[in-house]
Each structure stands twice: as structure tokens, then as C-alpha cells.
């Protein structure tokens, strides 16, 4: 699951809701203006949108 934000580094509250129903799904929040990438203990990742998308392949 991917959520995209312009500049919000805080984890989306929607992730916590979906995590209850889909505990095994990978959750990534992509942020355009991000100071520092993070991975939280529950596995949710906050990543630079530019960097992550440039490495994404289908």
C-alpha cells in the first residue's frame, strides 16, 4: 500500500486502520519534501518520493 504526501512526514492515520485488516501488507508513505527517510518498528516506511520512484521497476 502506498500513500503519497507533499510534505507530511507523520505516518498517515489510515495506515493504522488498514494494518488491522491487512497485517502482512507492506506500507510505504512517499513524501516529496522529506528531510529524513524512516522505517518504523511496525514495518511502515516513510521514503523520499523522488528516490523511491526513480528505483521502482515493474
pLDDT tens digit sequence for 35-56: 999 999 989 999 999 999 999 8
Is 1 in contact with 18 (CB distance < 8 Å)?
yes
Band (26; pLDDT cuts 50, 70, 90): very high
Q: What is the pTM of this model?
A: 0.86
Residue 8: the pLDDT is: 85
Span 7-36, average pLDDT: 92
Percent of the chain at pLDDT above 70?
100
- How far does Cα 16 stand from its chain's mean position? 12
Amino acid at each position: 500500500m502506498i500513500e503519497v504526501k507533499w510534505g507530511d512526514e507523520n505516518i498517515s492515520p489510515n495506515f493504522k486502520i488498514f494494518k488491522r485488516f491487512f497485517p502482512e501488507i507492506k506500507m510505504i508513505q512517499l513524501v516529496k519534501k522529506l528531510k529524513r527517510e524512516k522505517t518504523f518498528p511496525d514495518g511502515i516506511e516513510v521514503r523520499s518520493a523522488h528516490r523511491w520512484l526513480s528505483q521502482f521497476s515493474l
